[in-house]
Structures are given as C-alpha cells and as structure tokens.
A = this chain, B = another copy of it.
Amino acid sequence: MKAVRLHEIGGPQKLVVDEVPQPQPQAGETLVHVRAGSLNHREVFITQGLYPNITLPCILGADGAGEADGQAVVVDPTIGWGEDERAWSMDAHILGVPRDGTFAEYVCVPATNVHEKPEHLSFEEAAALPLAGVTAFRATFTRGELRPGETILITGIGGGVQTFVLLYAKAVGARVVVTSGSDEKLERAKALGADIAVNYKTDADWHKTVRKAAGTIDVAVDSAGGETFSKCTAIVRPGGRIVTYGGTTGDAKIRMFPVFWHQLDIRGSSMGSPKDFRAMLDFVSKHKIKPVIDRVYGMNDVVAAAERMNEAGQFGKIVLRMAP
C-alpha cells in the first residue's frame, strides 16, 4: 500500500510517499481502508523533530475516515484515554507516531476507536473532523461549559480547532467574538456567523476593543498562550472561564488579582475522552455541522499540504485524499 512516511527530521519537505506492506490487525484491532485524512500542527511539529519519542521511519496522520467491515467510518485519534474524564492517562497517545497513522491506504486501530461516519459528511469532510473536532468540543462544552446566549471569545481564528469552536458556538446560539491578524480570516469568520471580529495586529489594545464591543465575555478559548492568554484573564467577566488548549506563543505572565478577585476559572484542555468523541459526533450529526475545509490535496502533494499548514495561511482544515 501507499503511505506518507518521514525518514528524517527536517520539516515538511522530508515527507515522502512510500510503498509499504499493508498492516495486519492484531487482537482487538480493526483494519480501516482510509479514504481521506487531514493535517494537524502535530504532523508539522513531528517533521521538525518537536515531539518526543519519534521513531523513524514512521507513518504520520491522526485523522482519518474510510471504510471498515463494509461500513463508512471515522477514527477517534485518542488511544488509551483511561478511566478519568478529567484528564487523560499518562499512557495515552495520539494516533500517528509512535504508532503508525492514517496517512496511508490502510491503518490498524483499536476497534473501540472506530465510529460510524456522520451521514451528512463526505469522507473528506469526515476526515477533517476527529482531532480538531473533539479538541474543540471538549474545550467549548466539557471544559468551557458554553451555554446558549453566552458570549465566547475565540483568539486567533483560522486553524481547525478555532473554526470548529465557532461553528459549535453558533449552533447552540452563543454570541461569538473572534480575533485574527488577518482581515481576510476575520471576513471569513464573519461569513460563518462571527458576531464581532477584531484584528490584533492593527490594534495593540485589541482586548479592550473586544471588551468594549462585546460588553460581557463569558468564555474565552485560546491556544496562543503568552500575552494573548494574559489579556484574556483581564477581560472575561467575573466568574468567567478561560480554556487553554495550547501555548504556541509561549509562557504567560498573569496578574493574580483579576484571577482571584473575579473568581475566574482557567481550564486546561487537550484532545477529548471517548465520551467527548461520541458526544461530538452526535452533536455534529444533530446540527448538521460541516467542517470548514481550506483545501484538499492528493496524497502525492503531502509536502505542499504540510507547508501550507506550516505557513499558517489556511482557514479551516487541510485535507489529504489517500489517492494520487
């Protein structure tokens, strides 16, 4: 079968399509014929050597949709979450490195990670869903506890998770505030229903602008960290929540006073439990949510796909078809 593999660290251009033996399912595993996958920052970081425990060569890919046992399926990329809904086990891992991933014509995964594909989605759309969709679901609802009528701030709209948060929030009738450094992304977010859009590059006091425009912010969802995260603590309402699922711009310096005086909740979130994943699929089916897809690439164009992600030019998910 054909598979996207990394033989050496050195960035997206080191990805190659190899001919490798088709994997054989072990006990408790299901063989999935992958029709499409999608990229996450994780894969770019792996090509750059920014992940622990990389064994080479390896087949990348956390997200996949395809066929198994005659059914159209989508794969839950979190393996071994464990018993605790509050946090994943220290043994949990994400599909694709060290375990062979979904960027291949076939992948073997634990049978319990295989779920029926939502009917309203094509394989390409369903492949855009798993990692970003469940991360967004846990951040928005399980951790963020967003309720209808509340206002949510999404910092740095454009990536897969943030666009899902936007779609989910609008689906439950929340008001959505987005920020971006790109006016084009802000326009696209508005077209998807964002109520307030602020450019943080042209407005150093964007957080004050956001607060003034929104009045009240009940929940903020952030993966930038650094100063962006700090500014979130300054503008959410008393008793409000800030969910963090990443820290791409680094450590954050936070003033303690607003945190304790306004009784804020700062909640870390990563991926989602099996329960979160099933709830996410139900939610997406119920609300007929269609993932925002930036571009679809053929397998042979995986380098171009990964470079687009590395340059952060995308709005929504970058999909990879498991065909030329």
> Chain A residues in contact with chain B, CB under 8 A?
84, 86-88, 90, 143, 223, 225, 229, 237-239, 244-247, 250-270
Interface centre among A86, A253, A261, A268 (most CB of B within 10 A): A268
Determine chain A's interface SS by DSSP, over half rule.
loop
Say whether A239 contacts B86, CB under 8 Å: yes
Say whether B239 contacts A260, CB under 8 Å: no
Say whether A86 contacts B268, CB under 8 Å: no
Residues of B within 8 A of A262 (CB): 87, 268
Interface centre among A250, A251, A263, A265 (most CB of B within 10 A): A263
Write the chain B residue with the least CB distance to A143: B263
Say whether B254 contacts A252, CB under 8 Å: yes
Write the chain B residue with the least CB distance to A244: B260
Say whether B251 contacts A253, CB under 8 Å: yes
> 3 closest A-B pairs (Cβ-Cβ)?
A247-B256, A87-B239, A86-B239
Say whether A90 contacts B238, CB under 8 Å: yes
With contacts A84-B239, A87-B239 known, is A225 near B256, CB below 8 A?
Answer: yes
Task: From the candidates B229, B256, B259, B261, name the one contacting A256 in the complex (CB within 8 A).
Answer: B229
Say whether A254 contacts B256, CB under 8 Å: no
Residues of B within 8 A of A257 (CB): 247
Residues of B within 8 A of A251 (CB): 253-256
Write the chain B residue with the least CB distance to A225: B256
Give the docked Cα–Cα distance between A84 and B262 (Å): 12
Say whether A247 contacts B255, CB under 8 Å: yes
Say whether B246 contacts A256, CB under 8 Å: yes
A77 to chain B, nearest CB (A): 16
Residues of B within 8 A of A258 (CB): 268
Write the chain B residue with the least CB distance to A82: B238
A93 to chain B, nearest CB (A): 12
With contacts A252-B254, A267-B265 known, is A244 near B259, CB below 8 A?
Answer: yes
Give the docked Cα–Cα distance between A88 and B266 (Å): 18
Write the chain B residue with the least CB distance to A253: B253
Interface centre among A247, A255, A269 (most CB of B within 10 A): A247
Task: From the candidates B88, B246, B265, name the one contacting A268 in the complex (CB within 8 A).
Answer: B265
Write the chain B residue with the least CB distance to A257: B247
Residues of B within 8 A of A247 (CB): 255-257, 259-260
Write the chain B residue with the least CB distance to A247: B256
Residues of B within 8 A of A260 (CB): 223, 244-247, 268-270
Show 28 A/B contacts (Cβ-Cβ < 8 Å), sorted by A. Answer: A86-B238, A86-B239, A86-B263, A87-B238, A87-B239, A87-B262, A88-B238, A229-B256, A244-B256, A247-B256, A247-B257, A247-B259, A250-B256, A251-B255, A251-B256, A252-B254, A252-B256, A258-B268, A260-B269, A261-B270, A263-B267, A263-B268, A263-B270, A264-B266, A264-B268, A265-B266, A265-B267, A266-B267
Say whether A259 contacts B254, CB under 8 Å: no
With contacts A84-B239, A86-B239, A238-B90 known, is A259 near B266, CB below 8 A?
Answer: yes
Interface centre among A252, A253, A261 (most CB of B within 10 A): A261
